[in-house]
Structure 1
Protein backbone atom coordinates (compact mmCIF):
# COMPACT_ATOMS: atom_id res chain seq x y z
CA UNK A 1 0.00 0.00 0.00
CA UNK A 2 1.60 3.24 -1.12
CA UNK A 3 -0.16 5.67 1.20
CA UNK A 4 -3.28 6.15 3.27
CA UNK A 5 -6.28 6.64 1.00
CA UNK A 6 -8.08 8.81 3.55
CA UNK A 7 -7.08 12.43 4.13
CA UNK A 8 -6.34 13.22 7.77
CA UNK A 9 -8.93 16.01 7.85
CA UNK A 10 -11.70 13.43 7.33
CA UNK A 11 -10.82 11.66 10.61
CA UNK A 12 -11.93 14.22 13.19
CA UNK A 13 -10.42 12.57 16.28
CA UNK A 14 -7.07 11.71 14.69
CA UNK A 15 -6.80 15.15 13.09
CA UNK A 16 -7.36 16.87 16.43
CA UNK A 17 -4.77 14.64 18.14
CA UNK A 18 -2.14 15.11 15.43
CA UNK A 19 -2.73 18.87 15.27
CA UNK A 20 -2.16 19.08 19.03
CA UNK A 21 1.21 17.36 18.63
CA UNK A 22 2.17 19.55 15.65
CA UNK A 23 1.33 22.67 17.66
CA UNK A 24 3.33 21.38 20.62
CA UNK A 25 6.38 20.43 18.55
CA UNK A 26 6.38 23.69 16.56
CA UNK A 27 5.58 25.83 19.62
CA UNK A 28 3.24 27.66 17.27
CA UNK A 29 1.12 29.16 20.03
CA UNK A 30 4.15 30.67 21.83
CA UNK A 31 5.68 31.96 18.57
CA UNK A 32 2.43 33.50 17.37
CA UNK A 33 1.65 34.94 20.80
CA UNK A 34 4.90 36.93 20.61
CA UNK A 35 4.16 38.01 17.04
CA UNK A 36 0.56 38.98 17.85
CA UNK A 37 1.57 40.92 20.97
CA UNK A 38 4.25 42.83 19.08
CA UNK A 39 4.05 43.13 15.30
CA UNK A 40 0.32 42.51 14.90
CA UNK A 41 -0.73 44.83 17.72
CA UNK A 42 1.77 47.57 16.85
CA UNK A 43 1.49 47.53 13.05
CA UNK A 44 -1.17 45.35 11.45
CA UNK A 45 -4.08 46.05 13.79
CA UNK A 46 -3.84 49.76 12.99
CA UNK A 47 -5.08 48.98 9.47
CA UNK A 48 -8.57 48.20 10.81
CA UNK A 49 -10.40 51.47 10.16
CA UNK A 50 -13.41 51.06 12.46
CA UNK A 51 -14.52 53.60 15.04
CA UNK A 52 -13.44 52.58 18.53
CA UNK A 53 -16.90 53.11 20.03
CA UNK A 54 -18.44 50.60 17.59
CA UNK A 55 -19.09 46.99 18.47
CA UNK A 56 -16.51 45.06 16.44
CA UNK A 57 -18.02 42.17 14.49
CA UNK A 58 -15.46 39.37 14.24
CA UNK A 59 -15.60 36.12 12.27
CA UNK A 60 -13.26 33.17 12.79
CA UNK A 61 -13.22 30.45 10.12
CA UNK A 62 -11.66 27.14 11.15
CA UNK A 63 -10.92 28.56 14.59
CA UNK A 64 -9.64 25.27 16.00
CA UNK A 65 -9.22 25.09 19.78
CA UNK A 66 -8.91 28.87 19.93
CA UNK A 67 -5.42 29.42 21.37
CA UNK A 68 -4.29 31.69 18.54
CA UNK A 69 -7.55 33.60 18.23
CA UNK A 70 -7.55 34.15 22.00
CA UNK A 71 -4.31 36.13 21.80
CA UNK A 72 -5.62 38.15 18.84
CA UNK A 73 -8.87 38.97 20.66
CA UNK A 74 -6.92 40.15 23.72
CA UNK A 75 -5.08 42.69 21.57
CA UNK A 76 -8.17 43.75 19.61
CA UNK A 77 -10.07 44.33 22.87
CA UNK A 78 -7.59 47.09 23.73
CA UNK A 79 -9.03 49.14 20.86
CA UNK A 80 -12.59 47.82 20.65
CA UNK A 81 -13.92 46.95 24.12
CA UNK A 82 -17.10 45.35 22.77
CA UNK A 83 -16.78 42.44 20.35
CA UNK A 84 -19.11 39.81 18.93
CA UNK A 85 -17.11 36.83 17.68
CA UNK A 86 -18.77 34.28 15.38
CA UNK A 87 -16.71 31.10 15.61
CA UNK A 88 -17.11 28.74 12.61
CA UNK A 89 -15.37 25.42 13.27
CA UNK A 90 -16.48 21.94 12.05
CA UNK A 91 -14.57 19.89 14.65
CA UNK A 92 -16.69 19.49 17.79
CA UNK A 93 -13.73 18.64 20.02
CA UNK A 94 -12.06 21.88 18.95
CA UNK A 95 -15.21 23.90 19.65
CA UNK A 96 -15.42 22.37 23.12
CA UNK A 97 -11.75 23.19 23.79
CA UNK A 98 -12.31 26.76 22.59
CA UNK A 99 -15.37 27.08 24.87
CA UNK A 100 -13.32 25.78 27.81
CA UNK A 101 -10.55 28.27 27.02
CA UNK A 102 -13.03 31.15 26.75
CA UNK A 103 -14.52 30.20 30.12
CA UNK A 104 -11.08 29.89 31.72
CA UNK A 105 -9.96 33.24 30.28
CA UNK A 106 -13.30 34.99 30.86
CA UNK A 107 -11.68 37.93 32.65
CA UNK A 108 -9.20 38.57 29.83
CA UNK A 109 -12.02 38.24 27.29
CA UNK A 110 -14.45 40.48 29.14
CA UNK A 111 -16.38 42.34 26.43
CA UNK A 112 -16.40 39.44 23.94
CA UNK A 113 -19.62 37.56 23.24
CA UNK A 114 -19.34 34.33 21.25
CA UNK A 115 -21.64 32.82 18.64
CA UNK A 116 -20.58 29.19 18.18
CA UNK A 117 -21.22 27.48 14.82
CA UNK A 118 -20.18 23.88 14.20
CA UNK A 119 -19.83 24.32 10.45
CA UNK A 120 -17.37 24.46 7.61
CA UNK A 121 -17.28 27.73 5.67
CA UNK A 122 -19.50 26.16 2.99
CA UNK A 123 -22.05 25.01 5.58
CA UNK A 124 -22.01 28.44 7.21
CA UNK A 125 -22.79 30.04 3.84
CA UNK A 126 -25.69 27.65 3.22
CA UNK A 127 -27.12 28.20 6.70
CA UNK A 128 -27.04 31.98 6.31
CA UNK A 129 -27.87 32.41 2.62
CA UNK A 130 -31.58 33.10 3.24
CA UNK A 131 -30.85 35.60 6.00
CA UNK A 132 -30.00 39.30 5.61
CA UNK A 133 -26.31 39.59 4.69
CA UNK A 134 -24.28 39.96 7.86
CA UNK A 135 -20.95 41.73 7.50
CA UNK A 136 -17.85 41.65 9.66
CA UNK A 137 -15.11 44.12 10.52
CA UNK A 138 -12.41 41.52 11.14
CA UNK A 139 -12.13 37.99 9.72
CA UNK A 140 -9.55 35.45 10.93
CA UNK A 141 -8.45 32.46 8.84
CA UNK A 142 -5.69 30.70 10.73
CA UNK A 143 -4.40 27.60 8.90
CA UNK A 144 -7.64 26.92 7.05
CA UNK A 145 -7.21 28.26 3.49
CA UNK A 146 -5.50 24.97 2.53
CA UNK A 147 -8.86 23.23 2.55
CA UNK A 148 -10.89 25.69 0.44
CA UNK A 149 -12.35 23.73 -2.48
CA UNK A 150 -13.18 26.77 -4.62
CA UNK A 151 -10.57 29.32 -3.67
CA UNK A 152 -11.76 32.15 -5.96
CA UNK A 153 -15.39 31.78 -4.93
CA UNK A 154 -14.57 31.55 -1.22
CA UNK A 155 -12.23 34.55 -1.30
CA UNK A 156 -14.85 36.58 -3.16
CA UNK A 157 -17.46 35.59 -0.59
CA UNK A 158 -15.23 36.59 2.31
CA UNK A 159 -14.55 39.95 0.69
CA UNK A 160 -18.30 40.45 0.17
CA UNK A 161 -19.01 40.02 3.89
CA UNK A 162 -16.14 42.31 4.95
CA UNK A 163 -17.24 45.78 6.02
CA UNK A 164 -15.55 48.84 4.53
CA UNK A 165 -12.54 49.64 6.70
CA UNK A 166 -12.32 46.00 7.77
CA UNK A 167 -9.53 43.43 7.59
CA UNK A 168 -9.03 39.77 6.74
CA UNK A 169 -5.96 38.08 8.18
CA UNK A 170 -5.10 34.62 6.86
CA UNK A 171 -2.23 32.51 8.10
CA UNK A 172 -0.80 29.44 6.39
CA UNK A 173 2.40 27.46 6.14
CA UNK A 174 4.88 28.84 3.61
CA UNK A 175 5.39 26.85 0.42
CA UNK A 176 9.04 26.17 1.29
CA UNK A 177 8.16 24.70 4.71
CA UNK A 178 7.81 21.09 5.77
CA UNK A 179 4.27 19.99 4.87
CA UNK A 180 4.11 21.63 1.41
CA UNK A 181 7.57 20.24 0.63
CA UNK A 182 6.23 16.71 1.21
CA UNK A 183 3.80 17.21 -1.68
CA UNK A 184 6.59 18.31 -4.00
CA UNK A 185 8.80 15.37 -3.06
CA UNK A 186 5.99 12.78 -2.92
CA UNK A 187 3.29 13.62 -5.52
CA UNK A 188 1.13 10.71 -4.35
CA UNK A 189 0.21 12.82 -1.31
CA UNK A 190 -1.42 15.57 -3.32
CA UNK A 191 -4.92 14.24 -2.61
CA UNK A 192 -4.20 14.24 1.15
CA UNK A 193 -1.85 17.15 1.69
CA UNK A 194 -2.95 20.77 1.43
CA UNK A 195 -5.05 21.49 -1.63
CA UNK A 196 -4.14 25.20 -1.63
CA UNK A 197 -0.69 26.79 -1.28
CA UNK A 198 0.30 30.36 -0.45
CA UNK A 199 1.31 30.67 -4.10
CA UNK A 200 -2.23 29.73 -5.14
CA UNK A 201 -3.72 32.29 -2.75
CA UNK A 202 -1.46 35.07 -4.03
CA UNK A 203 -2.28 34.28 -7.67
CA UNK A 204 -6.02 34.25 -6.97
CA UNK A 205 -5.92 37.51 -5.03
CA UNK A 206 -4.09 39.17 -7.94
CA UNK A 207 -6.69 37.81 -10.41
CA UNK A 208 -9.51 39.09 -8.21
CA UNK A 209 -7.74 42.44 -7.89
CA UNK A 210 -7.78 42.14 -4.10
CA UNK A 211 -4.87 44.01 -2.57
CA UNK A 212 -2.88 42.21 0.14
CA UNK A 213 0.33 42.36 2.13
CA UNK A 214 2.27 39.25 3.19
CA UNK A 215 4.32 38.91 6.37
CA UNK A 216 6.60 35.92 7.10
CA UNK A 217 6.75 34.41 10.59
CA UNK A 218 9.68 32.12 11.28
CA UNK A 219 9.04 28.82 13.06
CA UNK A 220 10.75 25.46 13.43
CA UNK A 221 9.26 22.02 14.00
CA UNK A 222 10.95 19.60 16.41
CA UNK A 223 11.08 16.23 14.59
CA UNK A 224 13.56 14.54 16.94
CA UNK A 225 11.06 11.84 17.95
CA UNK A 226 10.33 11.02 14.30
CA UNK A 227 14.01 10.48 13.52
CA UNK A 228 15.34 8.95 16.71
CA UNK A 229 12.68 6.76 18.24
CA UNK A 230 9.19 5.35 18.40
CA UNK A 231 6.37 6.96 20.32
CA UNK A 232 2.71 7.86 20.07
CA UNK A 233 3.66 11.49 19.48
CA UNK A 234 6.03 10.51 16.67
CA UNK A 235 3.22 8.63 14.90
CA UNK A 236 0.82 11.55 15.29
CA UNK A 237 3.39 14.04 14.02
CA UNK A 238 4.10 11.94 10.93
CA UNK A 239 0.34 11.72 10.39
CA UNK A 240 0.17 15.51 10.36
CA UNK A 241 3.21 15.98 8.13
CA UNK A 242 1.77 13.56 5.56
CA UNK A 243 -1.86 14.54 6.27
CA UNK A 244 -2.67 10.83 6.43
CA UNK A 245 -4.27 9.13 9.48
CA UNK A 246 -2.39 6.14 10.96
CA UNK A 247 0.27 6.56 8.31
CA UNK A 248 2.82 4.32 9.99
CA UNK A 249 0.27 1.48 10.07
CA UNK A 250 -1.13 1.91 6.57
CA UNK A 251 1.88 2.90 4.46
CA UNK A 252 4.38 0.46 3.03
CA UNK A 253 7.61 0.17 5.02
CA UNK A 254 9.58 1.58 2.09
CA UNK A 255 7.36 4.66 1.80
CA UNK A 256 7.50 5.28 5.54
CA UNK A 257 11.29 4.95 5.43
CA UNK A 258 11.45 7.34 2.46
CA UNK A 259 9.46 9.95 4.41
CA UNK A 260 11.79 9.69 7.42
CA UNK A 261 14.88 9.91 5.21
CA UNK A 262 13.47 12.96 3.49
CA UNK A 263 12.81 14.65 6.83
CA UNK A 264 16.42 13.94 7.77
CA UNK A 265 17.56 15.62 4.55
CA UNK A 266 15.80 18.90 5.38
CA UNK A 267 16.80 19.07 9.05
CA UNK A 268 18.28 22.41 10.06
CA UNK A 269 21.68 22.56 11.84
CA UNK A 270 21.20 20.90 15.22
CA UNK A 271 20.74 22.97 18.33
CA UNK A 272 23.04 22.60 21.32
CA UNK A 273 20.70 20.13 23.06
CA UNK A 274 20.97 17.79 20.08
CA UNK A 275 17.39 18.11 18.84
CA UNK A 276 16.43 18.04 15.18
CA UNK A 277 14.29 20.78 13.63
CA UNK A 278 12.84 21.45 10.21
CA UNK A 279 11.46 24.73 8.93
CA UNK A 280 7.72 25.38 9.26
CA UNK A 281 7.54 29.14 8.62
CA UNK A 282 4.13 30.76 8.17
CA UNK A 283 2.85 33.55 5.98
CA UNK A 284 0.33 36.03 7.36
CA UNK A 285 -1.69 37.42 4.45
CA UNK A 286 -3.46 40.68 5.28
CA UNK A 287 -6.34 42.03 3.17
CA UNK A 288 -7.97 45.39 3.90
CA UNK A 289 -11.07 46.95 2.40
Structure 2
Protein backbone atom coordinates (compact mmCIF):
# COMPACT_ATOMS: atom_id res chain seq x y z
CA UNK A 1 0.00 0.00 0.00
CA UNK A 2 1.64 3.22 -1.20
CA UNK A 3 1.25 6.09 1.26
CA UNK A 4 4.32 8.14 0.25
CA UNK A 5 2.22 10.66 -1.66
CA UNK A 6 -0.08 11.30 1.33
CA UNK A 7 0.61 14.41 3.46
CA UNK A 8 1.99 13.68 6.93
CA UNK A 9 -0.03 14.73 9.97
CA UNK A 10 3.23 15.92 11.54
CA UNK A 11 3.57 18.62 8.85
CA UNK A 12 0.75 20.58 10.51
CA UNK A 13 1.39 20.89 14.29
CA UNK A 14 -1.92 22.69 14.89
CA UNK A 15 -3.93 19.95 13.20
CA UNK A 16 -1.92 17.30 15.07
CA UNK A 17 -2.78 18.88 18.43
CA UNK A 18 -6.51 18.94 17.51
CA UNK A 19 -6.36 15.25 16.50
CA UNK A 20 -4.43 14.33 19.65
CA UNK A 21 -7.01 16.05 21.86
CA UNK A 22 -9.78 13.97 20.26
CA UNK A 23 -7.70 10.85 20.83
CA UNK A 24 -7.22 11.73 24.51
CA UNK A 25 -10.92 12.47 24.98
CA UNK A 26 -12.10 9.30 23.24
CA UNK A 27 -9.67 7.06 25.13
CA UNK A 28 -10.25 8.81 28.48
CA UNK A 29 -6.45 8.82 28.57
CA UNK A 30 -5.84 10.89 31.68
CA UNK A 31 -8.70 9.32 33.65
CA UNK A 32 -7.19 5.91 32.85
CA UNK A 33 -3.84 7.07 34.21
CA UNK A 34 -5.46 8.42 37.36
CA UNK A 35 -7.36 5.18 37.99
CA UNK A 36 -4.19 3.18 37.51
CA UNK A 37 -2.18 5.36 39.89
CA UNK A 38 -4.88 5.07 42.55
CA UNK A 39 -4.92 1.28 42.19
CA UNK A 40 -2.01 -0.71 40.80
CA UNK A 41 0.73 1.90 41.39
CA UNK A 42 0.50 1.87 45.18
CA UNK A 43 2.03 -1.45 46.18
CA UNK A 44 4.31 -2.48 43.26
CA UNK A 45 6.03 0.92 43.30
CA UNK A 46 5.19 3.06 46.36
CA UNK A 47 5.27 0.14 48.78
CA UNK A 48 8.56 -1.10 47.35
CA UNK A 49 10.18 2.33 47.65
CA UNK A 50 8.97 2.80 51.21
CA UNK A 51 10.81 -0.38 52.19
CA UNK A 52 13.98 0.96 50.53
CA UNK A 53 14.21 4.66 51.31
CA UNK A 54 15.05 6.15 54.70
CA UNK A 55 12.07 8.29 55.70
CA UNK A 56 14.35 11.28 56.31
CA UNK A 57 15.98 11.00 52.89
CA UNK A 58 14.90 13.07 49.89
CA UNK A 59 13.26 10.85 47.26
CA UNK A 60 14.92 11.39 43.87
CA UNK A 61 12.59 10.90 40.89
CA UNK A 62 13.37 11.04 37.17
CA UNK A 63 10.60 11.46 34.60
CA UNK A 64 11.56 10.51 31.04
CA UNK A 65 9.48 11.91 28.17
CA UNK A 66 6.91 13.10 30.69
CA UNK A 67 4.92 15.17 28.20
CA UNK A 68 2.44 17.58 29.77
CA UNK A 69 2.87 15.92 33.17
CA UNK A 70 -0.60 14.54 33.99
CA UNK A 71 0.64 11.03 34.77
CA UNK A 72 3.78 12.26 36.56
CA UNK A 73 1.85 14.66 38.79
CA UNK A 74 -0.65 11.94 39.72
CA UNK A 75 2.25 9.67 40.72
CA UNK A 76 4.00 12.46 42.61
CA UNK A 77 0.84 13.14 44.63
CA UNK A 78 0.71 9.46 45.57
CA UNK A 79 4.42 9.38 46.45
CA UNK A 80 4.09 12.59 48.44
CA UNK A 81 1.87 10.82 51.00
CA UNK A 82 4.82 8.59 51.97
CA UNK A 83 7.81 10.82 51.18
CA UNK A 84 7.67 14.45 52.43
CA UNK A 85 10.61 15.65 50.29
CA UNK A 86 10.91 14.79 46.60
CA UNK A 87 13.36 16.03 43.98
CA UNK A 88 11.64 15.57 40.62
CA UNK A 89 13.85 15.84 37.54
CA UNK A 90 12.01 15.92 34.21
CA UNK A 91 13.66 15.16 30.85
CA UNK A 92 11.29 16.13 28.03
CA UNK A 93 12.35 17.36 24.54
CA UNK A 94 9.18 19.32 23.68
CA UNK A 95 9.25 22.96 24.77
CA UNK A 96 5.46 23.20 24.43
CA UNK A 97 4.75 20.09 26.54
CA UNK A 98 7.33 21.11 29.13
CA UNK A 99 5.56 24.46 29.46
CA UNK A 100 2.25 22.66 30.02
CA UNK A 101 3.90 20.46 32.68
CA UNK A 102 5.26 23.53 34.49
CA UNK A 103 1.82 25.17 34.44
CA UNK A 104 0.18 21.99 35.76
CA UNK A 105 2.73 21.65 38.56
CA UNK A 106 2.18 25.29 39.48
CA UNK A 107 -1.59 24.80 39.60
CA UNK A 108 -1.03 21.85 41.95
CA UNK A 109 1.44 23.68 44.19
CA UNK A 110 -0.53 22.83 47.32
CA UNK A 111 -0.79 19.10 46.54
CA UNK A 112 2.88 19.00 45.51
CA UNK A 113 4.25 20.97 48.44
CA UNK A 114 7.70 19.57 49.22
CA UNK A 115 8.31 18.56 45.58
CA UNK A 116 11.17 20.42 43.91
CA UNK A 117 11.06 20.24 40.11
CA UNK A 118 14.09 20.36 37.84
CA UNK A 119 12.93 20.70 34.22
CA UNK A 120 15.31 19.85 31.38
CA UNK A 121 14.35 20.33 27.76
CA UNK A 122 16.35 17.43 26.34
CA UNK A 123 16.03 14.09 24.65
CA UNK A 124 17.09 11.23 26.90
CA UNK A 125 20.05 10.63 24.58
CA UNK A 126 21.18 14.25 25.13
CA UNK A 127 20.75 13.91 28.89
CA UNK A 128 22.83 10.73 28.89
CA UNK A 129 25.55 12.36 26.79
CA UNK A 130 25.79 15.25 29.28
CA UNK A 131 27.09 12.72 31.80
CA UNK A 132 25.11 13.67 34.92
CA UNK A 133 25.95 11.09 37.61
CA UNK A 134 22.79 11.54 39.75
CA UNK A 135 21.22 8.27 40.89
CA UNK A 136 17.46 7.97 41.39
CA UNK A 137 15.09 6.01 43.60
CA UNK A 138 12.29 6.02 41.02
CA UNK A 139 12.24 6.51 37.24
CA UNK A 140 9.08 6.77 35.15
CA UNK A 141 8.96 6.15 31.40
CA UNK A 142 5.31 6.38 30.38
CA UNK A 143 4.63 5.68 26.69
CA UNK A 144 7.95 7.27 25.74
CA UNK A 145 10.11 4.33 24.63
CA UNK A 146 8.62 4.55 21.11
CA UNK A 147 10.42 7.86 20.59
CA UNK A 148 13.92 6.76 21.63
CA UNK A 149 16.61 6.05 19.05
CA UNK A 150 17.52 2.78 20.78
CA UNK A 151 15.11 1.71 23.53
CA UNK A 152 17.29 -1.33 24.30
CA UNK A 153 20.41 0.64 25.26
CA UNK A 154 18.27 3.35 26.90
CA UNK A 155 16.72 0.74 29.20
CA UNK A 156 20.19 -0.36 30.26
CA UNK A 157 21.21 3.26 30.87
CA UNK A 158 18.14 3.97 33.00
CA UNK A 159 18.73 0.81 35.02
CA UNK A 160 22.26 2.03 35.73
CA UNK A 161 20.76 5.35 36.94
CA UNK A 162 18.87 3.53 39.71
CA UNK A 163 20.12 3.17 43.25
CA UNK A 164 20.00 -0.41 44.61
CA UNK A 165 16.43 -1.02 45.77
CA UNK A 166 15.06 1.53 43.27
CA UNK A 167 12.38 0.97 40.65
CA UNK A 168 11.60 1.94 37.05
CA UNK A 169 8.05 2.09 35.73
CA UNK A 170 7.73 1.52 31.98
CA UNK A 171 4.25 1.77 30.47
CA UNK A 172 4.10 0.38 26.94
CA UNK A 173 1.60 -0.90 24.40
CA UNK A 174 0.79 -4.60 24.76
CA UNK A 175 1.73 -6.90 21.90
CA UNK A 176 -1.78 -8.37 22.23
CA UNK A 177 -3.58 -5.07 21.65
CA UNK A 178 -5.72 -4.36 18.63
CA UNK A 179 -3.73 -1.18 17.98
CA UNK A 180 -0.59 -3.31 17.69
CA UNK A 181 -2.31 -5.64 15.20
CA UNK A 182 -3.48 -2.63 13.18
CA UNK A 183 0.07 -1.25 13.06
CA UNK A 184 1.42 -4.63 11.97
CA UNK A 185 -1.17 -4.71 9.17
CA UNK A 186 -0.35 -1.15 7.99
CA UNK A 187 3.30 -0.37 8.78
CA UNK A 188 3.21 2.15 5.92
CA UNK A 189 1.35 4.61 8.17
CA UNK A 190 3.99 4.66 10.88
CA UNK A 191 6.47 7.58 10.89
CA UNK A 192 10.12 6.63 10.46
CA UNK A 193 11.23 8.41 13.65
CA UNK A 194 9.12 6.11 15.87
CA UNK A 195 10.04 2.58 16.88
CA UNK A 196 6.78 0.68 17.21
CA UNK A 197 8.02 -1.70 19.87
CA UNK A 198 5.66 -3.49 22.24
CA UNK A 199 5.87 -4.58 25.86
CA UNK A 200 7.17 -7.95 24.58
CA UNK A 201 10.25 -6.13 23.23
CA UNK A 202 10.80 -4.42 26.58
CA UNK A 203 10.53 -7.73 28.43
CA UNK A 204 12.90 -9.40 25.99
CA UNK A 205 15.50 -6.67 26.57
CA UNK A 206 15.23 -7.13 30.34
CA UNK A 207 15.30 -10.94 30.12
CA UNK A 208 18.54 -10.85 28.11
CA UNK A 209 20.17 -8.87 30.90
CA UNK A 210 18.67 -10.90 33.73
CA UNK A 211 16.97 -7.80 35.15
CA UNK A 212 14.02 -8.62 37.44
CA UNK A 213 10.59 -7.10 36.76
CA UNK A 214 6.87 -7.63 37.26
CA UNK A 215 4.19 -6.99 34.65
CA UNK A 216 0.77 -5.52 35.32
CA UNK A 217 -1.65 -5.52 32.32
CA UNK A 218 -4.22 -2.78 32.06
CA UNK A 219 -7.23 -2.80 29.69
CA UNK A 220 -7.75 0.38 27.66
CA UNK A 221 -10.35 1.05 24.95
CA UNK A 222 -10.56 3.85 22.39
CA UNK A 223 -14.05 4.76 21.18
CA UNK A 224 -13.66 4.86 17.38
CA UNK A 225 -17.40 4.81 16.60
CA UNK A 226 -17.33 8.27 14.99
CA UNK A 227 -14.52 7.19 12.64
CA UNK A 228 -17.22 5.31 10.69
CA UNK A 229 -19.41 8.41 10.36
CA UNK A 230 -18.22 10.29 7.27
CA UNK A 231 -20.04 13.42 8.45
CA UNK A 232 -18.24 13.52 11.81
CA UNK A 233 -15.43 16.07 12.07
CA UNK A 234 -14.29 14.45 15.30
CA UNK A 235 -14.19 11.06 13.58
CA UNK A 236 -12.11 12.53 10.77
CA UNK A 237 -9.57 13.93 13.24
CA UNK A 238 -9.33 10.58 15.00
CA UNK A 239 -8.72 8.77 11.69
CA UNK A 240 -6.00 11.32 10.94
CA UNK A 241 -4.38 10.49 14.28
CA UNK A 242 -4.55 6.72 13.75
CA UNK A 243 -3.14 6.92 10.21
CA UNK A 244 -0.72 9.83 10.78
CA UNK A 245 -2.11 11.34 7.57
CA UNK A 246 -3.27 14.95 7.28
CA UNK A 247 -6.93 15.11 6.18
CA UNK A 248 -6.93 11.37 5.49
CA UNK A 249 -10.53 11.24 4.27
CA UNK A 250 -9.83 13.88 1.60
CA UNK A 251 -6.39 12.68 0.49
CA UNK A 252 -6.38 8.85 0.68
CA UNK A 253 -7.80 6.75 -2.18
CA UNK A 254 -11.22 5.21 -1.51
CA UNK A 255 -9.98 1.62 -1.71
CA UNK A 256 -7.29 2.39 0.87
CA UNK A 257 -9.84 4.01 3.16
CA UNK A 258 -12.15 1.02 2.85
CA UNK A 259 -9.37 -1.49 3.66
CA UNK A 260 -8.15 0.48 6.69
CA UNK A 261 -11.62 0.98 8.15
CA UNK A 262 -12.51 -2.69 7.65
CA UNK A 263 -9.39 -3.64 9.63
CA UNK A 264 -10.03 -1.14 12.43
CA UNK A 265 -13.64 -2.28 12.79
CA UNK A 266 -12.85 -6.00 12.70
CA UNK A 267 -12.64 -8.32 15.71
CA UNK A 268 -8.88 -8.47 15.11
CA UNK A 269 -8.58 -4.92 16.45
CA UNK A 270 -11.83 -3.86 18.08
CA UNK A 271 -14.94 -4.97 19.94
CA UNK A 272 -18.52 -3.83 19.42
CA UNK A 273 -20.84 -3.12 22.33
CA UNK A 274 -23.77 -0.80 23.06
CA UNK A 275 -23.88 0.36 19.42
CA UNK A 276 -20.25 1.49 19.66
CA UNK A 277 -16.91 0.28 18.28
CA UNK A 278 -13.93 0.25 20.64
CA UNK A 279 -10.32 -0.23 19.58
CA UNK A 280 -8.32 -2.44 21.95
CA UNK A 281 -5.38 -0.33 23.21
CA UNK A 282 -4.32 -2.48 26.19
CA UNK A 283 -1.02 -1.49 27.76
CA UNK A 284 1.33 -3.17 30.19
CA UNK A 285 2.97 -1.56 33.19
CA UNK A 286 6.39 -3.10 33.73
CA UNK A 287 7.95 -2.44 37.12
CA UNK A 288 11.71 -3.03 37.01
CA UNK A 289 13.48 -3.56 40.32
CA UNK A 290 17.16 -3.17 41.14
CA UNK A 291 18.14 -5.64 43.87
CA UNK A 292 19.71 -4.30 47.05
CA UNK A 293 23.24 -5.56 47.62
Q: Check whether TM > 0.5.
A: yes
Summarize the alignment of residues 44-83 of structure 1 with structure 2, pairs less than 5 Å apart: 44-48=45-49, 49-83=52-86
Which stretch shifts more, 218-227 or 188-197? 188-197
Q: Does 2:224 align with 1:214?
A: no
**Cα separation, partners in 2 of 1:38 and 1:187, compared to 1, 3 Å:** closer
Find the counterpart in structure 2 of residue 115 from structure 1: 118
> 1:169, 1:242 → 2: CA distance?
28
Q: Secondary structure at the match of 2:67?
A: coil
> 2:165, 2:7 → 1: CA distance?
41
RMSD: 2.3
Note the C-alpha offset of 1:197: 1.6
Q: Does 2:149 align with 1:146?
A: no
Find the counterpart in structure 2 of residue 34 from structure 1: 35
**Cα separation, partners in 2 of 1:58 and 1:45, compared to 1, 3 Å:** same
> 2:203, 2:7 → 1: CA distance?
28
Structure 1 unaligned spans of 5+: none
Note the C-alpha offset of 1:8: 5.7
Find the counterpart in structure 2 of residue 160 from structure 1: 160
- 1:92-138, Cα deviation, whole Å (9 max, x unpaired): 22112111111111111111111111111112222x22x4x111111
**Cα separation, partners in 2 of 1:14 and 1:285, compared to 1, 3 Å:** farther
- TM-score w.r.t. the length of structure 2 is 0.88
> 1:98, 1:231 → 2: CA distance?
31
Find the counterpart in structure 2 of residue 181 from structure 1: 181
Structure 2 unaligned spans of 5+: none
> 2:134, 2:15 → 1: CA distance?
34
Mapped contact 1:55–1:82 kept (Cα < 8 A) = yes
Find the counterpart in structure 1 of residue 101 from structure 2: 98
**Cα separation, partners in 2 of 1:278 and 1:53, compared to 1, 3 Å:** same
Mapped contact 1:2–1:252 kept (Cα < 8 A) = no
> 1:101, 1:74 → 2: CA distance?
13
